[in-house]
Amino acid sequence: MKRLFCATLYRMWKSTGTRIAFLITYVAAILYFVLARMVAVGKLGVEQAGSVSGLGDAMIIWLSGSLVIGLLVGSDFENKTIHGAICFGRKKIIGNYVAVFAVLVALLALPYTIGSLACIFAGIDMTGAEQAAISVYLGNVLIYTKGASAGKLILSYLSYAMVYVGQLSICIPAAVKLKKPAAVTAFGFFLGMLSALLATLASKVEILDNIYKLTPYRYNMETLGIGGSYGDMLLAVAVSVVFAGLMGLLSWKLFCRAEIK
């Protein structure tokens, strides 16, 4: 299993598509904080502030994350490398996909974490950037000076990275089924864009709302930012781990039924 994990990580690192996904994410994170600062000091007006949100983690990590998952799973089927891995057993292959995917998503969230930490410890005042859509990362910058502890700040970032792992894990069974990186990317990005709308619709039906609250999609800046509670953050991690595990189980079931050509 360890050998398969290391080989998969190496393959993903050598993939041009993966490098492009990381480059897009890291450049977007830098621009996000630079433009948010410009909004804060008044160099960008309210009419431009909304555009900054397109570079935020909510949009970019869903795009890059679904691309990475498509490459991770789909390319094995497209390039026929799945035939070489099948000797490890289908359960181990899916477990390996989940583990590698979790590492990659955590690394995709890293530049936003580093950017917000840099703003906090450099004492950069982002007051006024509220005009732009605020993520957990920018939200933490805005309220850290109000007495939040470093430990809670770290837990906030860890829980939010884990929530992204949980949210994006739905792309793994989709990748097993679709087998095409481009199709998986489109599926994940489209779902990410619809997530807010789905939450609103679910809230109008009690049964759907109760189900929605058991998923990682319910967590946002209010619950996972450093203004939230330790209990919410720890619960978010637990829910995300369970949800990702269920998506892994579903992927294994689909993989067992899939014909390897």
Convert the pLDDT of each residue in 226-251 to its tens digit: 888 899 999 999 999 999 999 999 98
pTM over 0.85: yes
**pLDDT tens for each residue of 134-188:** 788 888 888 886 667 888 889 999 999 999 999 999 999 988 888 888 888 888 8
Per-residue pLDDT, averaged over 117-133, amounts to 81
Which one has a higher pLDDT value, 5 or 117?
117
pLDDT at 28 over 80: yes
Distance CA 99, CA 95 (A): 6
For the chain, the domain total comes to 1
Helix (H) or strand (E) holding 246: helix 230-257
Best CA proximity match to 175, nearest among 115, 100, 87, 88? 100
**pLDDT tens for each residue of 58-90:** 888 988 999 999 888 877 676 666 545 555 567
Distance CA 243, CA 249 (A): 10
Residue 181 CB contacts under 8 Å (≥ 6 apart), including other chains: 17, 67, 70, 71, 74, 75, 78, 175
Q: Please report the pLDDT score of residue 196 as a whole number.
A: 66
Domain span at residue 16 reads 2-257
**For the CA atoms of 41, 45, 46, 49, what is the dihedral angle to 10 degrees?**
-80
